[in-house]
Every structure is written in C-alpha cells, then in structure tokens.
Structure 1
Amino acid sequence: MKRLGIAAMVLCVCGMSAMADQVTLKNGDRLTGTIVKTDDKEETLLIKTELAGDVSVKWEAITSIVSSQPLHLALKDGQTIVGTVTTEAGTFEVTTKTTGEVKAAKENVTHVRNDAEQAAHDAEIYRLQHPRLTDFWSGLLDTGLSVTSGNSSTMNFTLAAKAARVTSRDKISVYTTAVYGKNNATDPSQTIAHEIRGGVRGDLNVSDKVFVFGFTDFGYNALQHLDLQNVLGGGMGYHAIKTARTTFDVFGGGSYNQEYFSAYTLPTVPPTSFPSMTTKNGEIVIGESLDSKITSRTTVSENFTFFPDLSNTGNYRYAFNSNITTKLKNWLGWQVTFNDNYISNPPTGLKGNDLLFATGLRLTFGKGVF
C-alpha cells in the first residue's frame, strides 16, 4: 500500500507538470507554470508559477515555449493565431482548431496572451472604439492668489477649470474662468475685478484632417455691466498639424451672440445714467488653436478666435488665450496664463479690453490632455 501511495503521488506530480506551460531560457533554466502575457513596454513574458509567484523573463532570453493551454500569438502582419504551442528549432508551432498546425518565427511574434488576457484586451479595444460618456476624461484646475496689506490692502483671485474627453472620433470640452479683485483700502471697499466666463464645445472628426464643431459660451462681467452673454455657434475645422507632441487646428463657422447689459451711471459731473441694453448679433467665427509639448515637462497652449459682426458691419470682438505650464509632479504644475477679451463697441464710457495675466499652481487629473 505504501508503494502504491508513492506511485500515485509521482503520477499526480507528473500529471500536474504535464498540464502546465513550460518556458526554456538560453541558459538552460526552465520555468513551469501558466503563461499569462507579454509586456510590450518591458519586452518580457509573465508566467504564474506555483512556488515563485509571478515571474517576468526577458523575451529575448526565451528559446522554447510549450503550452498546455491555448495561447493567442499576434504576428507582425496583423494576424493572430490561437492554439497550444510547442517549439521546434526555434520556431513556434501552434496547433489550431481550424487550420491545424501553423508555424511562426519568434521574431515575428509581437504579443502572447492566454484566453483571460486576450478577453481583457478585446474588451479594452471595444471600450476604446465604443467609449461611454464617462470614459477618458481628464482635467485641470488653475489657481492664482495675491494679497497685499499695509499702505495698500488688496486681494486678487483667479480660478480656471477645464475638463476634456478625447477619443479618436470626437472631443468634448468644458471650461470656465473666474477673476475677482477687491481694494480694501477704500471705504467702502471697492470691487476692481469680477468676471466669469465658461462654455462647452464638441468636436467630431469626419476624416483624419477635417472636423465639425459646435459650442456655447457664457459670460458675466460686473465692471462692464454685462449681466449675461450667451453665444451659440459651430462650423468646420482642419487639423493642420496632428502629431504626438503638437496639434494645430484652424476653423471657421458662424455664431449667434446675445448680450444683456444692466443700467449704469458714470461718475461724471453731473452723473450720466444709461439704460439697460440688449444686443443680438450674427457673427462669423474664424480661429486657430495650438497645443504643443516643447519639453518632457513643459507644454504651451494658445487659441485665438475672431468674431466679425454681421448685424452691425465694422464691429467685432475677439478672444485670445495662452498658457505655459511646467510639471512639478504628475498631478501638479506651475502655470502662467494670459487672456485678452475685446469688443469694439463697448457700452458708452466703458473699455473694450479685459486683460488677464495670472500665474499659480495647476492641479490635473486623468491622462492624456493636460
């Protein structure tokens, strides 16, 4: 009985070994376990072993693979062959269910995955091709603050936030900017800046170079007595440059601009009062945008949009925004921003330019865009 038990244990161990995958290295070592996948970045093969856990070996160090489970071998020509693998004279021999034995040279294999990893890979590819609205968002939060006291007493605060969802097919952007400044040296204290702008834009690629877009923008400016600006527009654009480091787009279209100004009084002698006013204008939209990664840590972005007024020929407005950011950490950076919003026909007695120069910290989340 004792001999019978020992024999049974030997058969069991041999059976387990026979059912496992085996990888042979150039130095003659052999690893037995379950082949999981190759790592493209590290150029390694991951094997789950019973005693050593997960083991990664260099792909170039492997001379032979024998698998008891089906493996998915992706080739340089785009084909994928599936089946159990043996190795003969440095060539992988894959026993498939449909075409029998297929040979593949090791240097022609780009990926190796087991069934579970292939299913996960296919699911990720499907997600990339059919993303949900909640997928692929990234964003930023820019902050700037200055405070003075003593002979002067002021406080200035800037805040900008942006989120974007970018896929190979489309892009959705949501953005807002707020500026607030106060002079506490006067009695009563005086607001010296109070402006909020924001909007939503969607871009849809109709080809590798051509895209269509639509947007809506909102604005408020207390010192310009602008209670609400609402712009709705759209058009077509062209990807003039689209590389891993730089994108440069030009675009054109049309928009409908509505502005609601409140009544105000100028401090003239005697004071001059002006009634509330509403303007509604059709506009042409002409613009460009640039995003470039100039070093591994520094990025530059800039966009300029020009809006000639179709309802009142000769009037126009433009918006110019630029930013340079240097990363301090993956989620933290230092940014410098310059914005210029201009209208050629401001309310009587008020200025048409609103300039902003700000610097401060940038917080980011997500991957890819910022």
Structure 2
Amino acid sequence: DQSVYDRELEKKAGPLYGWAGTVTGGASFVQSTQHGGTFSAGVKLVRTIPTVPYLPTRNRTIFSLSETYGKLTTPLIPQTTPASPDSVVKTSIFHTDLERDQYVSKRFYYLGTTAFDHNFSSGLDLQQIYGAGVGWTPVLDAKQQLDIKGDLHYEKQEFEDPASNQNLIGASIGEAYKRTLPRSMIFTQTLQLLPAFNEPKAYSANFSTGLAMPVFKKLSMSIAASDAFLNNPSPGFKKNTFQFITGVAYTLP
C-alpha cells in the first residue's frame, strides 16, 4: 500500500518505524547479616531500512544500552561499642552506544558512532567517544552475518583521580558476528580494539558474547559474558572488568 511504499522506498520512514531487538533484565538479592542486591538491564535495538530482506539495504541504525548496579552492606562482626559503620561494596558499570550506517553497496557502508561508558570498577567516571569510519560485511546469508568495522575518533576519559584524565585521538577496529542456531537460538559475539595515537599507553579493548534461547513466545533465557580492558585505569584499580550475566529477554516488536 501507499504508506508502506513511502516508508520502504521513498525515504520517509519515521524515527520509530522498523525497530527490532531485545530487552533483557536480571536481579539477585541477599537479606541476612549482609543485605543488598545486584540488578542488570540491557537494550539492543536495530533498525534496517528497507525492513524487507529482498530490497537492498539503504541505512541501518544500531543502539545498545546496558547497566549493572549492585550494593552489598556488611556490618562489622563482632560489633564494637560504639558500633562501627557498615562496610558497603558498590558495583556500577554502564555502557551505551549509537551507530548509524549508510550503505553504498550491499556489503560496504560508511558509519558514524558515539559511545558513553562509566565503570566504577576501573575508577572511570565517564568515557566519551565520537567517531566516523567504514564497514564491510564479508559474510551475509540467512543464518549468519559478520561485520568488520573501523573508525577514527575523539575520546575523552574522566577518572576518579582527575590527574588521570585524557583527551585522545584514536581508532576503533572490530567485528560483530551473529548466527541463528537450531531451535531458534541466537549466538552473538563482538570484539573491539581501541588504540590511541597521541597516548600509546591509553589503549583499551572490549569483548562480549551471548546466547539467547527461546522459552515461551517472545520470552528467552539470555546468557552473556563480557570483558572490558582499560590499560590506564585510575590508580589502585584493576585493568580488567569481567561480567557473566544470566537473565530473561523479551523480543521486540
């Protein structure tokens, strides 16, 4: 019909049209001498225009957001008089990114990207990345897709210790792989290397992998592992942050 024709072929797709992806959540709680909890949430969305697979892709938008937050409170045992303050352990790891791909052929595209990170476990208050580059899809069929991407970017890092703050000119080199397995299971994996040109020691890397297993209609069980490496954390913090998360995922739309 006319409205679908306009959206798919005449470049009139609205900002909310064509999005698909998953929303994931998980939590754990402790209520005893120690008390607290950990929450994890994530959103992964992709919009490809046109949305029908038999027309050549014109553009693609990728958005992701994840947050892991936790706090565990432990009293001093045995108690002293006057009572000593409780010990509090905090976790806060946040990431979000947005990528826009503009295709020049079936397998090649230009891209613009931005990303924001906060990692209490590395002493990183905020990392901002703004870049542009190119992408290539060497593998594309009904079951799997592999994208290889590279960009040049500006990167700003703000740490718990302001003396560690950095303004960097660097690059991102990475890949993203997705495969549909038997029984409609979906496997995903990404790897990203981020060298810095003006400060060689300030390099970083990110790796993630996940598996979604359908349970009931649009509900799936999600298993994911990720590792964030930061070579220049704030003093006293470790370079690696590893996470293993299980949760429930809901497929959109």
Q: TM-score if structure 2 supplies the norm length?
A: 0.86
Q: How does 1:224-263 map to 2 (within 5 A)?
A: 224-263=122-161
Say whether residues 1:341 and 2:221 are aligned partners: no
Q: CA deviation at 1:350?
A: 1.0
Structure 1 residue corresponding to 2:4, chosen from 93, 108, 124: 124
Structure 1 CA distance for aligned equivalents of residues 175 and 160 of structure 2: 32
Instruction: Pick the aligned partner of 2:190 from 303, 307, 319.
Output: 303
Q: State the secondary structure of the residue aligned to 1:124.
A: helix
Aligned match of 1:162 = 44
Name which one, 1 or 2, has greater alpha-carbon Rg. 1
For 1:83-102, list aligned pairs within 5 A: none
Counterpart position of 2:218: 331
Give SS of 1:218's match.
strand
Instruction: Verify the 8 A CA contact 1:290 1:301 in the aligned structure 2.
Output: yes
8 Å Cα contact 2:123-2:233 kept in structure 1? no
The letter for the 1-side match of 2:94 is I
CA distance in 2, matches of 1:249, 1:141: 22
Conserved in 2, the CA contact under 8 Å of 1:154 and 1:185? no
Which residue in the other structure is 1:287 paired with?
174
In structure 2, what is the Cα distance between the partners aligned to 1:138 and 1:307? 28
Unaligned runs of at least 5 residues, structure 2: 50-56, 76-84
Matching of residue 212 in structure 1 with residue 110 in structure 2: yes
Match of 1:184, SS state, is strand
RMSD: 1.8
CA contact (8 A) 1:197 1:220 kept: yes
Q: Which secondary structure state, in structure 1, belongs to the residue aligned with residue 178 of structure 2?
A: strand
Is the contact between residue 136 and residue 147 of structure 2 (CA under 8 Å) also seen in structure 1? yes
Q: Is 1:181 aligned to residue 61 of structure 2?
A: no
Alpha-carbon distance between aligned partners in 1 of 2:130 and 2:167, rounded to the nearest angstrom: 11
* Alpha-carbon separation, structure 2, partners of 1:291 and 1:151: 44
Q: Report deviation, 1:319.
A: 1.0
Equivalents in 2 of 1:262, 1:344: separation in Å?
15
Identity among equivalent pairs (%): 21
Change (3 A) 1:189 1:176: farther
- State the partner residue of 2:52: none
Counterpart in 2 of 1:135?
17
Verify: 1:357 aligned to 2:237, yes or no: no
Distance 1:200 1:237 in 2: 15
Aligned residues: 235
**Which residue is equivalent to 1:11?**
none
Q: Is the 8 A contact 1:182 1:189 kept in 2?
A: no
SS, match of residue 182 in structure 2: coil
Alpha-carbon separation, structure 2, partners of 1:212 and 1:237 = 6
Using structure 1 for the length normalisation, give the TM-score: 0.60
Q: Partner of 1:126: helix, strand, or coil?
A: helix
Shift of 1:136: 0.4
Aligned to 2:79: none
Cα gap change, 1:345/1:220 in structure 2, threshold over 3 Å: closer, same or farther?
Answer: same
Instruction: Kindly report which structure 2 residues correspond to 1:4-83, keeping only aligned pairs within 5 A, or say none.
Output: none
Q: Which runs of 4+ in 1 moved over 6 A?
A: none
CA contact 2:172–2:195 (8 Å) conserved in 1:
yes
Deviation at 1:241, TM superposition (A): 0.7
- Check conservation: 2:124, 2:233, Cα contact below 8 A: no
